[in-house]
Structure formats: C-alpha cells, structure tokens
Amino acid sequence: MSFFEKCKGDGAALPPLPPARAIALAWMGGLLAIGSVAALTDLLSMTLVLGSFGASCVLVFGYPDVPFSQPRNVIAGHVISSLTGLVFLAVLGPHWWAVALATATAIALMMLTRTVHPPAGSNPVIVFLTQPSWSFLLFPTLVGAVVLVVVALVYNNQTRAARYPKYW
C-alpha cells in the first residue's frame, strides 16, 4: 500500500454523537472550571490561566473516564511538560530546535511516567513563546491544574453516576 493510499484513511464511520445531556454537562463543567481558574486569577492577582487548560477541560468534562483525564495525568502531565519547557529554555535558549526537543522530551517523559495528558504537550511551546520565570511551574501550571482537578472531582461526582477518578 502506498503512502497516498494510507492517507485516504480506513473509511471508518464517525464516532457516535454524544447524548445532549453529556454535551450540556461537559459545557457546564468547562464553564465552571475555567471560570474558577479565571476568577481566582482576578481575586489573587496572579496568573493561574494556561492556554492548554481549555483543552484539559475537553477531556476532564467531555471524556472523564479515559486515562488522559485522570487527576494524576492532568496534574503531573502539566507539571512535567512545563518543567521540561523551562529546563530546555534555560539550558538551550529560545531556538526553534530547542522547543522541538522540549516538546518531544515532554511527550516521552509523560509516557515514561504514565501521566500522558495531551493538552500538556503544548506547555513547552507556551513556555518558549512567553519565556516566563521559574515561578511559571507553580503559577499557573501546578495551582491551575489542581484547581481544574478539584472542580472536576466535585462536578463530575455530583452530575454523573460513575465515579471520578478511575484511579489516582
């Protein structure tokens, strides 16, 4: 089979449309989680919002049962990826190849630690674009991710029959 034949795909059907209730619950969860992080940002006058948190909400509220959505993955994935970005920026400087190495390394480290959280894969890119201080690891990365998980714990366990999380 040629490369171009492979690019045509398998022709599989689209995944089924989620029920309206699941869509509404995911919408409300995302609203509450990002609203909480943004409100705390205003209240505490410190940055707690990270661009990748929006994508985290897609997983945590839209698909809370998958491994990528579990608290250890959300928190550790974000911290590992931000730390990797900060280390590579400090050691190698703001070069195109350094951000590529940082992103690839963050992916590998999340896989090695079994804490893969796809939205966190963008954290090294965010680090290289903004060039923050080391405090970025605590604010917004760690504290913001913890707030998202706390909202997810309360919200998902109040609105769904299934338990959240599946594991710690």
DSSP string, 110-164: HHHTT---GGGGGHHHHHHHH---GGGGIIIIIHHHHHHHHHHHHHHHHH-SS-S
* Sign of the Cα pseudo-torsion (12, 17, 18, 24, in order): positive
d(CA 152, CA 107): 24
Please check whether residue 34 lies inside any domain of the structure. Answer: yes
| Residue 109, domain extent | 20-159
Low-confidence residues in the chain, pLDDT < 50: none
- Quick one: pLDDT at residue 126? 98
| Cβ neighbours of 57 (radius 10 Å) | 25
Q: What is the token pair recorded at 10?
A: 């398998």
pTM of the predicted structure, to 2 decimals:
0.96
- Quick one: pLDDT at residue 121? 98
| Cβ neighbours of 79 (radius 10 Å) | 20
- Quick one: pLDDT at residue 1? 87
Please check whether residue 1 lies inside any domain of the structure. Answer: no
* 9 CB-side CA count, 13 A: 4
The number of distinct structural domains making up the chain is 1
